[in-house]
Amino acid sequence: MTWRQNGLRSYRNIATSQHRNIATSQHRNIATSQHRNIATSQHRNIATSQHRNIAIAIATSIAIGFSPSLFAFSFSNLFSKNKTIQLAQASTDQTAVQKTQNTQNSVTTVTHHHSLKHKKKKCTRHKKHKKHKKHPKKHYHHPYPTKVAPIPETALIPILQPHKWSVFGGLGWSDYLNGTSNKTFAVNNLETDQLTQDSGGSSVGYTAGFARNYDVSAKARCQKLKLQLISIGATLRYDPSTLNGQVYQYQDPTFNNYTYKYQIRPISELFETDLFFKKINKIHASPFIIAGVGMTQASLTYQETAQAGIPASSAKNLSAWKVTEDLAIGAGLQFNLKKNYFMRAQYLYQYRGNARLNSATLLQGVPINLNEQSVDVIAGYQFK
């Protein structure tokens, strides 16, 4: 009996331990995966095949050495244990399926509850917004406004709209106002001479230039001023002249021992702006005013001629190149002709200041007034 009991115990220990290790490990690893049906079928096939092989080997060894009743007992005990294992596996599968269904139901209920809350919040916000529209809150207004009031159109500088280009050129009669009349200069500390202007100062001048015209007749402020056109451009003027007179030594007319000739060759470069106003129907001309600024480069030459009985070497000969500022202002009338041609008659005054021709033999240079006035007749052509 002791030997049989030991055999049965060893059989039971081996069968149950191997079955538990294989069944529980494989069942846990496979059952937790997503494909539970495939995992359980594989687990059952592996577990039953291994268990049957071990059980048959042990049972045959015992039955050969012992009685057939023991052989039958071992097989019946083995099959009963297999049935209990299968029932346990089925119960675990059912519990896992129930858990997954419960989690899905809980998720759906939570999402449904959350959507209902969100809808309620939307409704409450919409109601609050409507209430705010009906009864707006009173806001505090700062005493100093942050927004600047729009500037009316009449206060703005009119925007220039390009209209046409114009090129022009003409001739004029220029005159140097008091070029050398009654001008004095110091030869040394004892002698101061005086110049008299007998003739000269008037000559023919030449004008050429171009401009860009801008139509401003549609602007309200320009309509009040009757301003029609603004012309902006550059003008080049050349007004040569020669002044003649006598030199009074010591400012005494009885000492008129020299005569002089003062030549002026100025080239003026002006940046001009012309404002054209509404046409005068009686004369079919548009009045305009001129404003310009620029510079004048002038070649100045002073020559003296000694009278009879006076040494020629005592006469003075001076020359220099002078650059001065030039400010111009004037007015005129423009006559528009056919095919974009026009004629202008204008008066122009140019302020250039005074200049002196200095020399090492003179204590003070010989003066001249470069201010000039001119009357010009100009012809031009307009194009786009």
**Nearest CA-CA partner of 114 in 106, 125, 102:** 106
Contacts of 238 (CB under 8 A, 6+ apart): 205, 206, 266, 267, 268
Domain assignment present for 67: yes
Contacts of 263 (CB under 8 A, 6+ apart): 240, 241, 242, 243, 299, 300, 301, 302, 303
198: CATH: 2.40.160.20
pTM over 0.75: no
Residue-by-residue pLDDT tens, the chain, 384 positions: 455 555 556 656 665 666 566 555 555 554 455 555 554 555 555 555 555 655 555 555 444 444 444 444 444 444 444 444 455 555 555 665 565 556 555 544 544 444 544 444 444 544 444 444 555 555 555 555 555 555 454 434 445 677 899 999 999 999 987 889 889 999 999 999 999 998 777 899 999 999 999 998 888 788 888 999 999 999 999 999 999 999 999 999 999 999 999 999 999 999 999 999 999 998 899 999 999 999 999 999 999 999 988 999 899 999 999 999 999 999 999 999 988 999 999 999 999 999 999 998 899 999 999 999 999 999 999 998
**Nearest CA-CA partner of 349 in 369, 374, 325:** 374
Residue where one domain finishes, among candidates 59, 88, 119: 119
Structural domains counted in the chain: 2
Q: What is the pLDDT of residue 285?
A: 94
Q: What is the pLDDT of residue 218?
A: 84
Q: Do 103 and 171 reside in the same domain of the chain?
A: no
CB of 248 within 8 A of CB of 255?
yes
Q: Do 340 and 200 reside in the same domain of the chain?
A: yes
What is the phi/psi pair of residue 257, to 5°? -90, -10
Q: Do 229 and 115 reside in the same domain of the chain?
A: no
Domain assignment present for 303: yes
Q: Do 110 and 215 reside in the same domain of the chain?
A: no
In this structure, are strands 227-238 and 366-369 parallel, antiparallel, or unpaired? unpaired
Q: Do 327 and 259 reside in the same domain of the chain?
A: yes
Residue 298 CB-density burial (10 A; 0-12 exposed, 13-18 middle, 19+ buried)? buried
Identify the domain containing residue 186 by its residue range.
Answer: 161-383
Residue where one domain finishes, among candidates 119, 152, 181: 119
Q: What is the pLDDT of residue 39?
A: 47
Domain assignment present for 148: no
Contacts 24+ apart (CB under 8 A), 44-53: 44/86, 44/89, 46/22, 47/19, 47/22, 47/23, 47/85, 48/82, 50/18, 50/22, 51/15, 51/18, 51/19, 51/22, 51/78, 51/82, 52/78
Q: What is the pLDDT of residue 111?
A: 47
Domain assignment present for 107: yes
Q: Do 300 and 195 reside in the same domain of the chain?
A: yes
Q: Rounded to an integer, what distance in angstroms lies between the CA atom of residue 34 and that of residue 57?
A: 36
Q: Rounded to an integer, what distance in angstroms lies between the CA atom of residue 257 and that of residue 304?
A: 10
Domain assignment present for 127: no
Q: Do 210 and 78 reside in the same domain of the chain?
A: no
Q: Do 172 and 262 reside in the same domain of the chain?
A: yes
What is the phi/psi pair of residue 58, to 5°? -70, -40
Q: What is the pLDDT of residue 104?
A: 54
Tokens of 214: 């801008």
Tokens 């045959």, located at residue: 60
Domain assignment present for 233: yes
Q: Rounded to an integer, what distance in angstroms lies between the CA atom of residue 188 and that of residue 306?
A: 19
What is the phi/psi pair of residue 57, to 5°? -65, -45
Q: Do 115 and 42 reside in the same domain of the chain?
A: yes
Q: Do 95 and 22 reside in the same domain of the chain?
A: yes
Q: Rounded to an integer, what distance in angstroms lies between the CA atom of residue 117 and that of residue 374?
A: 93
Domain assignment present for 223: yes
Q: Do 335 and 245 reside in the same domain of the chain?
A: yes
Domain assignment present for 246: yes
CB of 18 within 8 A of CB of 57?
no
Q: Do 84 and 187 reside in the same domain of the chain?
A: no
